[in-house]
Structure 1
């Protein structure tokens, strides 16, 4: 359970950071995915109010990070901020960004993997991966593993076991699809997949592609968001003995720049998926609970939060066999084995 059972869907990140001010003070925090009018910006503003040792922004567009940095410093002038460019759709860019971050910090107390894309067309990364899976999971998988020596260094010098955190932003949309181990790049139709890899099916709701096609954007997004949860399952299992915890969070339904690549039809579909729409500060809250609440460090079974409270992800997103399978698949894709 969390420290604050009264926190819920309307709680703000500002409130959460204030409640756990002592858990922010003096910490080195890396936020991946920071741009104006985003959850990343809201988290940065909330955290900067409580004297972190350093905030590192890692994102694709330098000018956007500079805009957020200027906004943070206009309110909290003493905050130390470093900016690192990274394109999560390029493994070469991820490796270069990790090298830069590792040169800047001596430790990382909190890593927040917040960046993501939502697409409606079948696009590929530089390495030929389906873009949403590649950007939303494979990029963060590689970046996190390359930063692990600095995360482990923080854990070795932490007086509180479980206070060092890796947070992966997911979505309730993870329920749509398990990992398509036989077809992560969406070359097959669902009827050609093993039963356990097919997207969800509900009366009146179809996630099947049109005749002759194989790609459904929301199924691809769902697969990538399942991967985020399974990544946290693996990280906690592999790193708990070192005092490191990983939690995946559903930030809620928030209109952000994330939907910039969707046409009116797809935006209309999204608009019907929630009864409560959060503002950006409210959207930052659940992730900050996961990153900061000391009570979450002791329970290894906690891997998913929704509306600032412990929740249960879909069965396919908490299966340890699937988590290990995804880890091995991810290692093969990035061409590097990580022995933890």
Structure 2
């Protein structure tokens, strides 16, 4: 978003989704939609150095690549790159080594649509690192065809949230270890990539796999009504791709809310980030109809380096450690998500549902304030 330095709150007309940003709550009020991940990393160079960083979702020509390259430019202690396809991780690793030959890298395969793969990847990562200072959950899918994960979940919810939830909690002991060792409380970060698409849908607690018609689920689980827009499925159908995607992106924010509140006293902060309007390889599964819908959602299209910037702010800005209630950033500044994505009751309910789905309890202790 175009704005002058020091303008604390952006106008809603600057953003087609109606999101407002507040630049008074970050260290750099001049950062905006034009800012790049490279610029953010350079600004917080001293924060990156000696950090162990795990980036999930790394492939060529992706936000994961731009985020990785930005971290690599500032000499982290270790970069762990995790993604579904090893050949794609290696392509990014080769680019890192060409530009930053002294950066230590570790590569791990993980399929977030498979509990077995997540368990194996977590075991590998936990064996590689002694601590995790920054975890960036960038991986995700968007699809217009009804599909399920290997464990029978609707693909977008199962991958974008449940997979991320499971992996993060399996890595949590190493995240907590980093927080215990840190001299700066709140500098240990879990960053979840979300989207303004979260505005489309709350969590469908009674029907997260999309087996029911909208009229058969509680009203507060249905997409909010918008003038000229309908998210109802066609007659006889139950699946709406963008509602499924929106549900998963709401889940990313609610998960960040849960972690920040549960672990605030331990020095762990979690923030969800909206990267802005950007074309990435994620759009490969969209048909022409849905591609046209996406094209209408943005008035400013970012390049990959700009798209990674907000996640770098969430991972590195020391000022964000001061307030656990900051859970969502857009255009490199603090923003406010939809009401259904900042509801603490929904956050705790989703946490419990996610534990039930993966079949494992993650008791983060008595620190929960939810």
Q: Report the Cα offset of residue 204 of structure 1.
A: 1.0
Q: How does 1:72-151 map to 2 (within 5 A)?
A: 72-151=96-175
Task: Tell me the equivalent position of 1:53.
Answer: 77
Task: Tell me the equivalent position of 2:14.
Answer: none
Q: Distance in 2 between matches of 1:32 and 1:109?
A: 14
Q: TM-score, normalised by structure 2?
A: 0.91
- Residue 236, structure 1, aligned to residue 260, structure 2: yes
- Residue 6, structure 1, aligned to residue 34, structure 2: no
Q: Report the Cα offset of residue 201 of structure 1.
A: 1.2
Q: Report the Cα offset of residue 39 of structure 1.
A: 0.6
Task: Tell me the equivalent position of 1:253.
Answer: 277
Q: Distance in 2 between matches of 1:338 and 1:47?
A: 29
1:176 to 200, 220, 224: 200
Q: Distance in 2 between matches of 1:97 and 1:229?
A: 23
Q: Distance in 2 between matches of 1:45 and 1:112?
A: 13
Task: Tell me the equivalent position of 1:265.
Answer: 289
- 224-233 or 264-273, larger mean C-alpha shift: 264-273
Task: Tell me the equivalent position of 1:281.
Answer: 305
Aligned length: 340
Q: Distance in 1 between matches of 2:276 and 2:263?
A: 27
Task: Tell me the equivalent position of 1:154.
Answer: 178
Q: Distance in 2 between matches of 1:24 and 1:323?
A: 30
Task: Tell me the equivalent position of 2:243.
Answer: 219
Q: Distance in 2 between matches of 1:201 and 1:223?
A: 15
Runs of at least 5 residues in structure 1 that lack an aligned partner in the other structure:
none
Cα deviation code 1:283-332 (max 9, x no counterpart): 00000000000000011110000000000000000000000000000000
- Residue 296, structure 1, aligned to residue 320, structure 2: yes
1:66 to 90, 93, 99: 90
Q: TM-score, normalised by structure 1?
A: 1.00
Q: Distance in 2 between matches of 1:97 and 1:47?
A: 21
Cα-Cα RMSD: 0.5
Runs of at least 5 residues in structure 2 that lack an aligned partner in the other structure:
1-24, 365-370
1:192 to 206, 213, 216: 216
Q: Distance in 2 between matches of 1:283 and 1:114?
A: 11
Q: Distance in 1 between matches of 2:202 and 2:307?
A: 25
